[in-house]
Amino acid sequence: MSVNPTRKIVSVAGVTAIAASAALSFGGAVAVADSSAKQMREVCAKSVYVKERPGVIPVGSVTKGQRVQVTRFSKSGRYAHIVARQGNYTTRGWVPTRYLCAKGEHA
Protein backbone atom coordinates (compact mmCIF):
# COMPACT_ATOMS: atom_id res chain seq x y z
CA MET A 1 0.00 0.00 0.00
CA SER A 2 1.31 3.42 -0.84
CA VAL A 3 0.22 6.39 1.24
CA ASN A 4 1.41 9.96 0.83
CA PRO A 5 1.35 11.32 4.41
CA THR A 6 1.47 14.98 3.42
CA ARG A 7 -1.54 14.83 1.09
CA LYS A 8 -3.43 11.92 2.67
CA ILE A 9 -3.91 10.10 -0.63
CA VAL A 10 -4.18 6.31 -0.81
CA SER A 11 -3.41 4.58 -4.11
CA VAL A 12 -5.90 2.32 -5.92
CA ALA A 13 -3.64 -0.63 -5.15
CA GLY A 14 -3.81 0.28 -1.48
CA VAL A 15 -7.61 0.45 -1.50
CA THR A 16 -7.75 -2.90 -3.32
CA ALA A 17 -5.45 -4.48 -0.72
CA ILE A 18 -7.52 -3.08 2.15
CA ALA A 19 -10.79 -4.35 0.61
CA ALA A 20 -9.33 -7.80 -0.03
CA SER A 21 -7.92 -8.14 3.49
CA ALA A 22 -11.22 -6.98 5.01
CA ALA A 23 -13.15 -9.55 2.99
CA LEU A 24 -10.73 -12.32 3.96
CA SER A 25 -10.99 -11.42 7.63
CA PHE A 26 -14.75 -11.97 7.38
CA GLY A 27 -14.19 -15.33 5.68
CA GLY A 28 -15.55 -14.23 2.31
CA ALA A 29 -14.11 -13.61 -1.11
CA VAL A 30 -14.12 -10.24 -2.80
CA ALA A 31 -14.18 -9.25 -6.44
CA VAL A 32 -12.71 -5.80 -6.95
CA ALA A 33 -13.62 -4.19 -10.26
CA ASP A 34 -10.52 -2.77 -11.89
CA SER A 35 -11.66 -0.22 -14.47
CA SER A 36 -8.08 0.04 -15.72
CA ALA A 37 -7.88 -3.66 -16.65
CA LYS A 38 -6.96 -4.25 -20.27
CA GLN A 39 -9.77 -5.67 -22.35
CA MET A 40 -10.54 -6.20 -26.03
CA ARG A 41 -13.62 -4.46 -27.44
CA GLU A 42 -15.07 -3.91 -30.91
CA VAL A 43 -15.97 -0.57 -32.45
CA CYS A 44 -19.75 -0.39 -33.02
CA ALA A 45 -19.94 2.99 -34.79
CA LYS A 46 -19.29 3.37 -38.53
CA SER A 47 -16.08 5.27 -37.75
CA VAL A 48 -14.68 7.15 -34.76
CA TYR A 49 -11.86 9.65 -34.43
CA VAL A 50 -9.20 8.64 -31.91
CA LYS A 51 -8.15 11.74 -29.95
CA GLU A 52 -4.86 12.61 -28.25
CA ARG A 53 -6.86 13.60 -25.17
CA PRO A 54 -10.63 13.33 -24.62
CA GLY A 55 -12.32 15.80 -26.95
CA VAL A 56 -9.10 17.31 -28.37
CA ILE A 57 -6.75 16.65 -31.34
CA PRO A 58 -7.53 13.65 -33.61
CA VAL A 59 -4.56 11.29 -34.06
CA GLY A 60 -6.32 8.64 -36.14
CA SER A 61 -9.56 6.76 -36.56
CA VAL A 62 -11.08 3.31 -36.07
CA THR A 63 -13.91 1.68 -37.99
CA LYS A 64 -16.88 -0.59 -37.29
CA GLY A 65 -15.91 -4.12 -36.33
CA GLN A 66 -12.28 -3.23 -35.59
CA ARG A 67 -10.99 -4.83 -32.37
CA VAL A 68 -9.21 -2.44 -30.02
CA GLN A 69 -7.54 -2.90 -26.65
CA VAL A 70 -9.00 -0.71 -23.91
CA THR A 71 -6.23 0.17 -21.46
CA ARG A 72 -8.19 2.43 -19.10
CA PHE A 73 -11.25 4.66 -18.76
CA SER A 74 -11.58 8.35 -17.90
CA LYS A 75 -12.76 9.21 -14.38
CA SER A 76 -16.22 9.99 -15.75
CA GLY A 77 -16.33 6.73 -17.70
CA ARG A 78 -17.29 8.65 -20.86
CA TYR A 79 -13.97 7.99 -22.64
CA ALA A 80 -11.81 4.91 -23.11
CA HIS A 81 -8.08 4.96 -23.84
CA ILE A 82 -7.47 2.47 -26.65
CA VAL A 83 -4.66 0.87 -28.59
CA ALA A 84 -5.69 0.00 -32.15
CA ARG A 85 -3.42 -2.03 -34.39
CA GLN A 86 -3.99 -2.28 -38.11
CA GLY A 87 -1.20 -3.73 -40.22
CA ASN A 88 2.06 -2.01 -39.29
CA TYR A 89 0.28 0.96 -37.70
CA THR A 90 -0.62 1.42 -34.06
CA THR A 91 -2.95 4.20 -32.93
CA ARG A 92 -3.19 5.17 -29.26
CA GLY A 93 -5.70 7.63 -27.89
CA TRP A 94 -9.16 8.29 -26.50
CA VAL A 95 -12.61 7.50 -27.92
CA PRO A 96 -16.07 8.02 -26.42
CA THR A 97 -17.16 4.75 -24.77
CA ARG A 98 -20.60 4.99 -26.40
CA TYR A 99 -18.97 4.06 -29.74
CA LEU A 100 -17.55 0.79 -28.39
CA CYS A 101 -19.63 -2.39 -28.28
CA ALA A 102 -20.51 -3.71 -24.85
CA LYS A 103 -18.21 -6.45 -23.53
CA GLY A 104 -18.90 -9.64 -25.48
CA GLU A 105 -21.10 -7.83 -28.05
CA HIS A 106 -20.11 -7.73 -31.72
CA ALA A 107 -20.61 -4.97 -34.29
Residues paired with 47 in a beta bridge:
63
Q: 89, 62, 61, 94: which is closest to 77 by C-alpha?
A: 94
Q: Model's pTM, two decimal places?
A: 0.63
Name the amino acid, one letter, at 89.
Y
Question: Residue 81: its pLDDT value, please?
Answer: 97
Q: What is the pLDDT of residue 22?
A: 42
Q: Return the closest-CA partner of residue 101 out of 62, 51, 75, 52.
A: 62
Q: Which residues of the chain have pLDDT under 70?
A: 1-37
- Domain segments of the chain as ranges: 1-32, 39-99
| Per-residue model confidence (pLDDT) at position 94 | 97
Q: Does domain 39-99 correspond to CATH entry 3.40.50.10490? A: no
